[in-house]
């Protein structure tokens, strides 16, 4: 519809999640027409981000160093690990300021329909972290949907072999949604009211 | 909340229109985590787009050449000019395939509250295009909202001095909205049913 590079920009923006054709068009025109918008800065960050960002070798959170800021923070409790699906869930929980332990990012949830099984998640790495007996509680904070529940059930069964308290975030999270979209208060309450998994 | 470059990317994406903090975060993680997403390509286009894109010296539409593809197309009728607020409105009308004349992009609409008056729009350029008498009809296709209507009224009064048929897109467009969000059928109908401006 547009000539050359403008259409290319619209197409490329349209590949981003949650950006439909109209949004892509609106953003492209904003970029083209707004003098104050720093195009080169966004371009530079995009080029840098892939090179600089890696994943924490301990918890799997996004990090620019080998070990992320949370894992290397001496003020964080080393006795509790909160297991989440994605790195963005770490940020959501950090915003509540309810939790001062460490995290473990699984990298997804068990989903037979998408061909994701336990071996595709960072579960082996979790078990290795639990091996030395320092951790006394694992809080399972997977998404309150089908895949998240399946993953939670799988993990809690797996962890019965260890002498570790396994908890799950309290209900209060809207069911069927994504953890990252919960507001801080709801997510904070869910943390406070976490329950022991029956097994 | 995030470390270094990831937060910078989220901040920079959040400056784009229609992208809130959660969307920015979602897009940033998609960019970081999706191997198949071509970051360098988006970065390259962003760098190029500002240099390459200019505005058609005749109609004001976005173009990579001095004269845009529509103005330089010999199959387009030179007797009718459709006046729109923004370049994206040109694309919206082109999608209807109802119009085979030329365009004139005003670069906005009269809005006293935003300090935009007739002199801030490409109205003088429009009058120059109409001076040689080749154009027999001007279709005013400003947005069906307060500013668009004010602009249409201003233009139609200004054009009474010339021997030119002045029309306005038919109602059928949802009032209070943006022209660019109208679906093709509605916008096509509005074109067919355009009415002569009473003066």
Share of chain A above pLDDT 70, in %: 92
Q: Do the Cβ atoms of A27 and B17 come closer than 8 Å?
A: yes
**8 Å CB contact between B153 and B140:** no
Which of A18, A28, A86 minimises the CB distance to B23? A18
Query: Which position has the higher pLDDT, B34 or B13?
Result: B13
pLDDT at B199 over 70: no
State chain A's mean pLDDT as an integer. Answer: 87
Helices (H), chain A: 4-14, 21-33, 39-52, 87-96, 123-130, 146-159, 184-192
Whether B30 and A16 lie within 8 Å, measured CB to CB: yes
Residues in contact with A33: Cβ distance below 8 Å, sequence separation at least 6, in sequence order = B87
Residue A171: pLDDT above 70? no
> Helix B21-33 vs helix A39-52: angle between axes, to the nearest 10 degrees?
50
A71-196 CATH, one of 3.10.129.10, 3.40.50.10860, 3.40.1360.10, 3.10.20.30: 3.40.1360.10
Number of helices (H), then strands (E), in chain B: 7, 7
Pairing of strands B80-84, B102-105: parallel
Say if residues A65 and B52 touch (Cβ distance below 8 Å).
Answer: no
H or E, element range at B94: helix B87-96
**Candidates B17, B40, B47; nearest CB to A40:** B47
Contact B76, B100 (CB under 8 A): yes
- In angstroms, the CA A78 to CA A28 distance is 46
In B, minimum Cα distance to A20 occurs at: B18
CB contact under 8 A, A27 and B40: no
Q: Which of B12, B62, B64 sits opposite A42 (nearest CB)?
A: B12
In B158-170, which positions are buried (b, 16+ CB within 10 angstroms) versus exposed (e)?
ebeeeeeebbbbe
Close Cβ partners of A34 (under 8 Å, ≥ 6 residues apart): none
Instruction: Give the pLDDT score at A136.
Output: 93
Put simply, the answer to whether A6 touches B41 (Cβ < 8 Å) is no
pLDDT at A192 exceeding the cut of 80: no
Tokens 């229609």 correspond to: B18
Span B82-101, average pLDDT: 89
**Nearest CA among B189, B192, B133, B190 for reference residue B164:** B133
Find which of A30-39, A115-124, A163-172, B165-174 is predicted with most confidence, using mean pLDDT.
A115-124
* Residue of B7, B15, B16 to mutate for A, most A C-beta atoms under 10 A: B16
Please check whether residue B31 is in contact with residue A46, taking contact to mean a CB–CB distance below 8 angstroms: yes
Q: Give percent of chain B with pLDDT exceeding 90.
A: 42
A114-125: average pLDDT? 94
- What are the angstrom distances between the C-alpha of A173 and each of A34, A107, A144, A145? 40, 21, 7, 10
What are the pLDDT digits (tens) for A157-167? 999 888 899 99
Contact at CB, B64 and A17, closer than 8 angstroms = no
Residue among B6, B40, B49 minimizing CB distance to A53: B6
Asked if residue A186 has pLDDT above 70, the reply is yes
Which residue of chain A has the CA closest to B2?
A91
Nearest by CB to A39, which of B4, B46, B86? B46
Spatial contact of A184 and A95, defined as CB atoms under 8 Å apart: yes
Distance from CA of A160 to the nearest CA of B (A): 32
Q: Where are the alpha helices (DSSP H) in A53-145?
A: 87-96, 123-130
Q: pTM score, two decimals?
A: 0.68
Pairwise CB contact (< 8 Å): B43 & A46: yes
B131-164 pLDDT tens trace: 998 999 999 999 878 899 899 999 999 998 888 8
How far is B56 from B78, CA to CA, in rounded Å? 16
Give the count of alpha carbons within 13 A of A76, CB side only. Answer: 19
For residue B60, how many other CB atoms are within 10 A of its CB? 23
Give pLDDT, residue A173. 67
User: Is A86 close to B29, i.e. CB distance below 8 A?
Assistant: yes
Contact A29 B87 (CB under 8 A): yes
> What does the pLDDT read at residue B7?
87
Question: How many other C-beta atoms lie within 10 A of the C-beta of residue A92?
Answer: 22
Number of CB pairs < 8 Å for A and B?
Answer: 146
User: What pLDDT digit, counting tens, does each position of A43-75 carry?
Assistant: 888 888 878 888 899 999 988 889 999 999 999
Summarised one tens digit per residue, pLDDT across range A6-44 is: 888 899 899 898 898 888 988 988 888 887 778 888 888
Using CB atoms, pick whichever of B8, B29, B86 lies closest to residue A45: B8
Asked if B42 lies within 8 A of A86 by C-beta distance, the reply is no
Provide the 8-state DSSP code for A191. Answer: H
Domain A4-52 classification at class level: mainly alpha
CB nearest A18 (choices: B27, B32, B52): B27
- A41: number of Cβ within 10 Å: 13
The whole-number pLDDT of residue A22 equals 87
Compute chain A's Rg from CA coordinates. Answer: 20
List CB contacts of B146: < 8 A, sequence separation 6 or more.
Answer: none
pLDDT at B66: 92
The pLDDT tens digits for A96-108 are: 888 999 999 999 9
DSSP B92: H
> How far is A49 from chain B, CA to nearest CA, in Å?
6
A16:B6 CB<8 A: no
Q: Do B6 and A47 touch (CB under 8 A)?
A: no
Tell me: pLDDT of B181 over 80.
no
Minimum Cα–Cα distance from B22: chain A residue: A181
Report the distance separating Cα A46 and Cα A15, nearest Å.
15
Return the higher-pLDDT residue of A187 and A165: A165
* Domain positions in chain A: 4-52, 71-196
Of A135, A195, A187, the closest CA to residue A170 belongs to A195
- Indicate yes or no: CB of B23 within 8 angstroms of CB of A26: no
Residue B152 to residue A40: CA distance in whole angstroms: 37
CB contact under 8 A, A47 and B40: yes
Decide if B4-52 and B71-196 have a common fold. Answer: no
């Amino acid at each position: 519809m547009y000539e050359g590079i403008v259409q290319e920009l619209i197409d490329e923006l349209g590949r981003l999640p949650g950006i439909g054709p109209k949004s892509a068009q609106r953003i492209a025109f904003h970029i083209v027409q707004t003098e104050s918008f720093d195009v080169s800065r966004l371009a530079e960050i995009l080029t840098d981000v892939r090179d600089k960002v890696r994943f924490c070798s301990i918890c799997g959170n996004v990090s620019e160093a080998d070990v992320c800021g949370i894992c290397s923070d001496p003020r964080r409790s080393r006795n509790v690990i909160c297991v989440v699906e994605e790195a963005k869930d770490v940020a959501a929980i950090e915003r509540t300021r309810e939790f001062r332990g460490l995290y473990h990012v699984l990298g997804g949830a068990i989903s037979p329909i998408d061909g994701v099984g336990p071996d595709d998640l960072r579960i082996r790495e979790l078990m290795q972290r639990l091996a030395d007996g320092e951790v006394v509680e694992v809080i399972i904070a997977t998404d309150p949907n089908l895949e998240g529940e399946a993953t939670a059930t799988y993990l809690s069964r797996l962890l019965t072999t260890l002498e570790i308290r396994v908890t799950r975030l309290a209900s209060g999270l809207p069911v069927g949604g994504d953890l990252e979209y919960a507001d801080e208060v709801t997510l904070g309450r869910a943390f406070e009211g976490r329950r022991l998994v029956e097994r």
